[in-house]
A and B are shown apart, each in its own frame.
Chain A
Amino acid sequence: MPKRERSLQSIPRDDDRPAEPTANDLLALVARGDEAAFERLYDHVSGSVFGLIRRVVRDQAQSEEVFQEVMLEVWRTATRFDPGKGSANTWILTLTHRRAVDRVRSAQAATHREEHVARLDTTRPFDEVSEQVDGRLEQRQVRRCLGNLTDLQRESVLLAYYQGYSYPEVASLLGLPLGTVKTRMRDGLIRLRDCMGVTG
Chain B
Amino acid sequence: MRSTSAELHTLTGAYAVNALADTERTAFETHLDRCGSCAAEVAELTATASRLGTAVDSPPPPHLRARVLKAAAETRQLPPRTARVPRIRRLREAGGLLVAACLVAAVVVTAQGLGSTKDSDTLAQISREYSQFTDFLSTPDVKLVSAAGPDGATGTAVVSASRDELLFLSRDLPEPPADRVYQLWFLDAGDPRPAGLLPATGSAPMMASGVSGAQKVAVTVEPQGGSATPTNPPMMVISLV
Contact = CB atoms under 8 A, between A and B. Distances in A.
Interface in B1-41: 10-14, 16-21, 40
Interface of A: 31, 33, 35, 38-39, 42, 46-52, 54-55, 64, 67-68, 71-72, 75-80, 85-87, 89-90, 93-94, 96-98, 101-102, 105-107, 129, 132-133, 136, 138-139, 141-143, 157-158, 160-162, 164-168, 170, 179, 181-190, 192-193, 196, 198-200
Contact of B45 (A33, A35, A75, A189): A189
Contact of A129 (B17, B20, B55, B73): B55
A189 B48 contact: yes
Contacts of B65: 42, 46
- Interface size band for B: 35 or more
Contact of B49 (A106, A184, A189): A189
29 contacts: A35-B73, A42-B68, A42-B69, A46-B65, A47-B59, A52-B56, A54-B58, A72-B71, A75-B77, A89-B50, A97-B18, A102-B225, A107-B179, A107-B223, A139-B57, A142-B51, A142-B52, A142-B54, A161-B17, A162-B52, A182-B11, A189-B12, A189-B16, A189-B45, A193-B47, A198-B44, A198-B48, A199-B44, A200-B44
Contacts of A129: 55-56
B18 A79 contact: no
A182 B10 contact: yes
Contacts of B55: 129, 132-133, 138-139, 142-143
Interface stretch (B78-86, B135-143, B166-174): B78-86
B45 A166 contact: no
